[in-house]
Structure 1
Amino acid sequence: MNLIQFELPKKGRRVGLINKDKVVDLTDINTAWTHTYYLFLEANRNGKTITAYLEGFSLGDADTISYNQLLASYSGDPNGWILPVLDHPSVGSCLISGTGLTHLGSMEQRAQMHTDVTEKTEEKKTDSQKIFEMGLQGGKPSLDSRGVQPEWFYKGNGAILRGHNDFLDIPDFTDDGGEEPEIVGCYIIDDDGIPCRIGFTIGNEWADHQMEKVNYLWLAPSKMRNCAVGPELVTDEKFQNIQGYCRITRGDEEIYHSGQLLTGENHMSHSLSNLEDHHFKYPQFRVPGDVHLHFFGTMKLSFPNRPSFQSEDKIEINFGGMGASLINRVRQIPPSITPTMVKKG
């Protein structure tokens, strides 16, 4: 089952079910389902998954709209537009995080990025190489044991979430952005504090690789950017062998194509269960009602194999079995060296 969230100007927020080239308006069945979040809570409190719960409703009576029309629309379009696949009614209760160095290609690129500042490490291996090898050796444990922990990073809360056809910003305090084509795990913590994976979606993690290249200890602030997820939440993806691509265009010119991208457990140094364990082992990440979006890493970045991004550059990410491509445009915020001021409270 593939779900989306969208907005219609005259009706407000909606949850939809993809049915070929149509979107079944689930909010037309129950007006309380303005967020996938609320649909999950209702299903979970009835002891069912979203998919099983919806089987008890007659979807044929619901309104439908053109999916192609939504895919072509932008925020504010009078015909409606697509929202991020999962969020929380309160942006502070949606936590966005991720893991990296889970794919072979990512380790090679990261090691090259950090060689200048880490070439004197033990056996001339970078920290990136070392942590990737730790994953190869202990990242896929048996289900009854805990494996080695992966890299982990924080991105922000729901305020940084963007949807399909939305802008990804290059902030006023930096010179570039950087796409990261990934699969994202989508989770809601139930009333008992148990993390529930409701599905996967395509994500563009959007970071600043120029900043990271200066010093690898700047990796943490390089992640503090907005990001995009969607357009579809896939509830039955097995996350084993997913193939895709990323392409960047500037007007009619293609300035980057990734070639084949591989992700899923078959192409990673960690199992899905190990990545989830090392995120949700922290009690503060199991607060009932919270939403978590967790990026699982990528095998390849365009940096440094493209010119610097410019406003209106278009980034398209596609993964087989994950529904329609995620498309975003770049927006350069005018540079500024004016500091952010704090006043006495």
Structure 2
Amino acid sequence: MTVLFECIHDQARHIGLGIPDADTPLRLHRLREEDDLAALLAGGADEEERAAALTALLADRPAVEVAAEARHLVRTRPPLLPAHIGDALVSGFMMTHNVKIDTDTQGQPSWFVKGLGDILRMPGEPLSVPADAVAVCEEAEVVLVYVGDAQGVPRYAGHTFGNDLTDIGRFKQHAGHLSYAKLCDAGIAPWLHLGPPPRAATGEVVIERAGGPAWKGSFTTGSDAIHYDVAAMMDRLFAHRSLHRPGRVHYVYIGADRSSFHSGFRTADGDRVTIDVTSHGVRFEHPLAWVGSAAGHGGQGWGR
């Protein structure tokens, strides 16, 4: 499967291919100001077409190599993040997985909005939550990325992985407060996979506190673990014309397996959450920061 990432190097936009190994040089291609990567990828009907369009674009884009010791100067970006933050909408579905709902459940799962593009956080950056959060949990998820075409219709461009941080305690106190429970930052990995949404994605979550492990658990996600048909979910969501806008990038979190909360664990300010999607070679981490606290200040991290 073709995987790409975007970054800022030497004050300019670049693109790289694959998921780099730790502490190895990076081979990057400098993008031109007029390059619209989001529109390019959304124009492909399938992975093969998207990969071919990408190959054609990079054929005459200069390549540079960044030495391993200089990788910390390269800043990764959320996949296809538009220049104007308001042109990115971060949202998701809840209660989608088989382990969470009755097998006879019908219809469409509940949908929520997390915010605009500025709530997406790269690996190593802190995820902030409201100061009055009741009980916050991590949610390791597949994130689908769509781009509005010239008519505004969202077209699939690829997928990545993320952490849909949630104040599940607020939701448990009042089911009608889902919208408030979701207003936490969202972690996202920079690696955009151009293939279809994965049928299975498995891995492990580790939560560290005071420099040591405090909780660990495995997860299973992907379309096989979801009660609903993912394509039908997305078709029904994007049937709403209010979501149509040319160039708008949608980041849709499609639900999570059980979290640390379901094991009785309670996260705290300063905890560090690592999500390792071992099935796909993707690893990323974020410290948690309650708004108004001094803890949780982290720096740019690469993850994997």
Q: Is the 8 A contact 1:202 1:317 kept in 2?
A: no
Matches for 1:313-324 after TM superposition, within 5 Å: 313-324=271-282
Matches for 1:68-217 after TM superposition, within 5 Å: 70=71, 73=72, 79-107=73-101, 129=102, 133-135=104-106, 148-217=107-176
Q: Shift of residue 97 of structure 1?
A: 1.0
1:269-300 CA-partner distances (Å, limit 9, x unpaired): 11121111121110111222111010110111
Q: Is the 8 A contact 2:202 2:277 kept in 1?
A: yes
Q: Distance in 2 between matches of 1:160 and 1:106?
A: 26
Q: Is the 8 A contact 2:14 2:31 kept in 1?
A: no
Q: Is the 8 A contact 1:195 1:280 kept in 2?
A: yes
1:287-322 CA-partner distances (Å, limit 9, x unpaired): 2211101011011111152233122x2111122454
Q: Distance in 2 between matches of 1:158 and 1:80?
A: 20
- Cα 1:12/1:171, change in 2 over 3 Å: farther
- Cα 1:134/1:328, change in 2 over 3 Å: same
1:74-94 CA-partner distances (Å, limit 9, x unpaired): xxxxx1222222322111121
Q: Shift of residue 246 of structure 1?
A: 1.3
Q: Distance in 2 between matches of 1:223 and 1:31?
A: 35
Q: Distance in 1 between matches of 2:54 and 2:197?
A: 20
Residue identity opposite 1:307 in structure 2: R
Q: Shift of residue 238 of structure 1?
A: 4.4
Q: Is the 8 A contact 2:144 2:158 kept in 1?
A: yes
User: Runs of 5+ in structure 1 lacking a partner?
Assistant: 74-78, 108-128, 136-147, 336-345
Q: Is the 8 A contact 1:231 1:324 kept in 2?
A: no
Q: Distance in 2 between matches of 1:66 and 1:84?
A: 22
Matches for 1:32-51 after TM superposition, within 5 Å: 32-33=34-35, 38-42=36-40, 49-51=49-51
Q: Where does residue 6 of structure 1 map in the other structure?
A: 7
1:13-57 CA-partner distances (Å, limit 9, x unpaired): 43322264354323x253544xxxx21324667999441112224
Q: Is the 8 A contact 1:189 1:286 kept in 2?
A: yes
Larger radius of gyration: 1
Q: Shift of residue 187 of structure 1?
A: 0.6
Q: Is the 8 A contact 1:84 1:228 kept in 2?
A: no
SS at 1:256 equivalent? strand
SS at 2:37 equivalent? helix
Q: Distance in 2 between matches of 1:93 and 1:101?
A: 27
Q: Where does residue 120 of structure 1 map in the other structure?
A: none
Out of 2, 27, 34, the residue aligned to residue 24 of structure 1 is 27
Q: Where does residue 325 of structure 1 map in the other structure?
A: 283
Q: Distance in 2 between matches of 1:59 and 1:322?
A: 30
Q: Is the 8 A contact 2:204 2:276 kept in 1?
A: yes
Q: Is the 8 A contact 2:134 2:168 kept in 1?
A: no
More helix by share: 1
SS at 1:104 equivalent? coil
Q: Shift of residue 221 of structure 1?
A: 0.8
Q: Where does residue 65 of structure 2 map in the other structure?
A: 64
Q: Shift of residue 176 of structure 1?
A: 4.5
The answer to whether structure 1 residue 308 and structure 2 residue 267 are counterparts is yes
Report the count of equivalent residues.
285
Residue identity opposite 1:25 in structure 2: L
Q: Where does residue 244 of structure 2 map in the other structure?
A: 286
SS at 2:256 equivalent? coil
TM-score, structure 1 normalization:
0.74
Q: Distance in 1 between matches of 2:254 and 2:131?
A: 28
Q: Distance in 1 between matches of 2:120 and 2:168?
A: 20
Q: Distance in 2 between matches of 1:315 and 1:88?
A: 27
- Cα 1:188/1:43, change in 2 over 3 Å: closer
